[in-house]
């Protein structure tokens, strides 16, 4: 999943980003509300983690502006304020959840998982396409009784393909989901990872295949 973290505390941003990347998420960061609002409008995020007290624009204003533009990305407010009225103000502005600093990263991660499950098309932690079964909690991929080891980036791309099985996804869509804002789209990394995934899942064998849709992108389907 692609997540935007907006907080003027750069150290906290880096800690949260590192932890989320370790969980196979793609993460962009912004250090003020103005930049965060811009990134949220131009990129397809699955979740925004948004601080309230920030320069240029506070999180409440950013949240309200996004909701007024019908941008319904799940938003988690992250702030040092712990008064009940501050929580109410954050939720009333359109936020979906609220976490008070300081927090345990394990709690933040659990809330991230809960919000992504709520918004995602699949409620179960397992995604099944043909003979492939991907457990999104353990990041374990099984094909029949065989466990297939995946790198973090391979997992991210395959999860995206499995969530959009039988649909054509373009290279741009994969790039936007699997890499951050600074990714060089001129590279052929998407094709490189698709080839690796094909080898690992036994593409063309009974069960699953990643098709190349000429001039469009790729499609994962069950044979």
The verdict on domain 2-119 having CATH code 3.30.360.10 is: no
Q: List the one residue out of 138, 168, 143 whose CA is nearest residue 155.
A: 138
pLDDT at 152 over 70: yes
Query: CB of 212 within 8 A of CB of 160?
Result: no
pLDDT in tens, 78-121: 887 666 777 777 778 888 888 888 888 888 888 888 888 775 54
pLDDT in tens, 25-81: 889 999 999 999 999 998 888 899 999 888 889 889 999 999 999 888 899 988 876
Question: Angle 30-71-12 (CA atoms, 0-180°, nearest 5)?
Answer: 25
Query: CB of 51 within 8 A of CB of 8?
Result: yes
Query: CB of 141 within 8 A of CB of 148?
Result: yes
Which residues of the chain are in CATH 3.40.50.2300 domains?
Answer: 2-119
Beta strands in the chain (DSSP E): 2-6, 26-30, 47-51, 75-79, 97-100, 126-129, 132-135, 140-143, 146-148, 169-170, 208-213, 217-222
Which residues of the chain are in CATH 1.10.10.10 domains?
Answer: 126-222
Report residue 185's pLDDT band, with 50, 70 and 90 as the boundaries.
Answer: low
Report residue 122's pLDDT band, with 50, 70 and 90 as the boundaries.
Answer: very low
The verdict on domain 126-222 having CATH code 3.40.50.11260 is: no
């Amino acid at each position: 999943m692609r997540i935007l973290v907006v907080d003027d505390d750069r150290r906290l941003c880096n800690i949260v980003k590192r932890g989320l990347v370790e969980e196979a998420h793609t993460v962009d960061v912004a250090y003020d509300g103005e930049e965060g609002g811009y990134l949220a409008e131009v990129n397809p995020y699955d979740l925004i983690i948004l601080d309230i007290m920030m320069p240029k624009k506070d999180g409440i204003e950013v949240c309200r502006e996004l909701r007024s533009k019908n941008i319904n990305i799940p938003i988690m407010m992250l702030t040092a304020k712990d008064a009940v009225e501050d929580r109410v103000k954050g939720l009333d502005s359109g936020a979906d959840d609220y976490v008070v600093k300081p927090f345990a990263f394990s709690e933040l991660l659990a809330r991230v998982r809960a919000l992504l499950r709520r918004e995602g098309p699949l409620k179960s932690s397992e995604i099944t396409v043909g003979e492939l079964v991907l457990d999104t909690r353990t990041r374990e991929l099984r094909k029949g009784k065989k466990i297939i080891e995946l790198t973090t980036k391979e997992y991210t791309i395959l999860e995206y393909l499995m969530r959009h099985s039988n649909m054509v996804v373009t290279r741009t869509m994969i790039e936007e989901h699997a890499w951050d804002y600074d990714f060089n789209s001129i590279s052929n990394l998407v094709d490189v990872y698709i080839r690796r995934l094909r080898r690992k899942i036994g593409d063309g064998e009974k069960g699953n295949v990643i098709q190349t849709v000429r001039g469009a992108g790729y499609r994962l389907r069950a044979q």
